[in-house]
C-alpha cells in the first residue's frame, strides 16, 4: 500500500493533514461521526450514508478486513471515510480483502492519521457541516468544497433505490405464506433478511410508485425503508402512503418513519449533528424498558407537529419510543390504522436482541389480517 499525503477540509476553515487510503479522488459531503467500535463494512454499504463523510470515533478501524456476506447493499454509498489509525495488516478468518482495497474498488477516498477526537468535538459543537477529502492543492480543494451542497433540501433516495421491482430471494428453508410490498428508499439487506427469516416474502419496489400499483400486488402489508437525504425533500411518497392508511398494516424504519409522519401531516427538522452509532439509548414508552439501538439519521420528526396533525385528522396517536439523550421521537403508532414507525434500526442488533420484537409484532399483524 503506497501512502500519499491527504487532507480533510471543513467549511469552517479547519484543515487537517493525514495519509490517504482507498481511492485518491477528491470528494465532498456532509461530515458526521459514528460511535460504533465495529461494523465499518455495514456503515460503508449502508445507502443511508449517501452524500456523507463519516468519521469513526473508535481509533482502530480496518483490522478485521472485509467479508462480502456482511454487506448491507451492493455498493459503497458514502462520500469519504475518516479514521484515526488504519492498520495496514488485517487478520480475520472470514476476511476476503482489505478495507483499503474495498474503498479502492468503489472509488471512495479515505484518510487516516488525523485527530478524529478533535473532529468529533468540533462536529458536536458546530454541528454537521460540509467537508472534503483531497490529495490536491489547497486552492483547488477550497474551490471544490464551496461546491459541495448542503444536506438540507436534498432528495437522495433515487440515487440508491432500485430501478425496477424485484422479489427478495428466499435464503431460508421456510415457506413464505405472507407477502409485503417494500418501498426501497435505500434499504439495508439485513431488513430483508429479517423478514425472510420470519417467513415473509418481500416484493421490493422503487420509491416512484403509485398506491394503485402497490395494491395490485395484493400484499398483506406495506414496509417503508430507510434512506438518505432530507425527508422533507422527498416528493410524492408521503401522499402515496397517506392513500394507503387503513388499507393494510404499515411499518416504517428510519426514513420510512419520517415518511409516515409526513403522510400524517407532521414536519421534520435537522438535528445538529444527527444520531450515528450503535449505542443510543431509547425508552419504550409502553413498558419503560431501555433499548440499546443502532441509529443513522440526521433529521427527526417534530413531536408537536405530529401531535397536532393527529388531532386535526382525529387519528389516535401514541408516541411509542423516545431517545434518552435529547427526547426526540424514536417511534410512534397509529393504532386505529395499524401503522407503526420506528426511527432507529432494529435489524442492526446492537443490543443485540433488544428490538427484535418490532419485526415480530408487525408480522403478527400480517398474520391476523
Cell digits of residue 235: 416528493
CA distances from 194 to 75, 101, 268, 346 (A): 20, 29, 28, 10
- Beta bridge partners, 130, equal 30
- Beta bridge partners, 295, equal 277
- Residues 274, 254: contact at Cβ < 8 Å? no
CA distances from 321 to 85, 245, 257, 328, 355 (A): 36, 21, 12, 9, 11
State CA 100 to chain mean position distance.
Answer: 23
Residue with cell 479515505: 110
Active site annotation includes 345: yes
Residue tagged active-site, from 50, 254, 276, 323: 254
Query: Between β-strands 52-56 and 80-82, what pairing exists: parallel, antiparallel or unpaired?
Result: parallel
Active site annotation includes 67: no
Residue with cell 452524500: 51
Active site annotation includes 254: yes
Closest CA to 327 of 285, 265, 365: 285
As a whole number of angstroms, the distance between CA 152 and CA 272 comes to 12
Catalytic residues: 254, 345, 347
Amino acid at each position: 500500500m503506497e501512502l500519499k499525503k491527504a487532507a480533510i477540509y471543513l467549511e469552517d476553515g479547519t484543515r487537517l493533514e493525514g495519509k490517504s487510503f482507498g481511492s485518491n479522488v477528491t470528494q465532498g459531503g456532509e461530515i458526521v461521526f459514528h460511535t460504533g467500535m465495529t461494523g465499518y463494512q455495514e456503515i460503508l454499504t449502508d445507502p443511508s450514508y449517501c452524500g456523507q463523510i463519516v468519521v469513526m470515533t473508535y481509533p482502530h478501524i480496518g483490522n478485521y478486513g472485509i467479508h462480502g456476506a456482511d454487506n448491507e447493499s451492493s455498493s459503497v454509498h458514502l462520500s469519504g471515510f475518516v479514521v484515526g489509525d488504519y492498520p495496514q495488516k488485517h487478520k480475520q478468518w472470514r476476511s476476503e480483502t482489505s478495507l483499503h482495497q474495498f474503498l479502492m474498488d468503489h472509488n471512495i477516498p479515505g484518510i487516516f492519521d488525523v485527530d478524529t477526537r478533535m473532529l468529533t468535538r468540533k462536529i458536536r459543537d458546530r454541528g454537521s457541516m460540509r467537508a472534503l477529502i483531497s490529495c490536491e492543492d489547497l486552492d483547488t480543494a477550497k474551490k471544490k468544497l464551496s461546491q459541495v451542497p448542503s444536506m438540507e433540501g436534498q432528495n437522495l433516495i433515487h440515487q440508491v433505490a432500485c430501478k425496477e421491482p424485484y422479489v427478495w430471494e428466499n435464503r431460508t428453508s421456510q415457506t413464505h405464506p405472507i407477502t409485503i410490498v417494500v418501498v426501497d428508499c435505500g434499504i439495508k439487506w439485513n431488513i430483508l433478511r429479517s423478514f425472510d427469516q420470519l417467513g415473509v416474502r418481500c416484493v421490493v419496489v422503487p420509491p416512484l410508485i403509485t398506491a394503485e400499483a402497490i395494491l395490485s400486488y395484493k400484499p398483506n402489508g406495506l414496509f417503508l425503508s430507510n434512506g438518505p437525504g432530507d425527508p422533507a425533500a422527498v416528493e410524492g411518497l408521503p401522499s402515496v402512503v397517506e392513500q394507503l392508511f387503513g388499507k393494510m398494516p404499515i411499518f416504517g424504519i428510519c426514513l420510512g418513519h419520517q415518511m409516515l409522519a409526513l403522510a400524517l401531516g407532521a414536519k421534520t427538522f435537522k438535528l445538529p449533528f444527527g444520531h450515528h452509532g450503535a449505542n443510543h439509548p431509547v425508552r419504550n414508552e409502553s413498558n419503560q424498558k431501555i433499548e440499546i439501538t443502532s441509529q443513522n439519521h440526521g433529521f427527526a420528526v417534530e413531536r408537536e407537529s405530529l401531535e397536532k396533525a393527529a388531532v386535526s385528522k382525529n387519528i389516535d396517536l401514541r408516541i411509542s419510543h423516545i431517545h434518552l439523550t435529547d427526547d426526540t421521537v424514536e417511534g410512534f403508532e397509529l393504532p386505529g390504522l395499524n401503522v407503526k414507525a420506528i426511527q432507529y434500526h432494529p435489524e442492526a442488533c446492537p443490543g443485540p436482541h433488544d428490538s427484535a420484537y418490532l419485526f415480530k409484532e408487525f408480522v403478527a399483524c400480517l398474520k391476523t389480517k
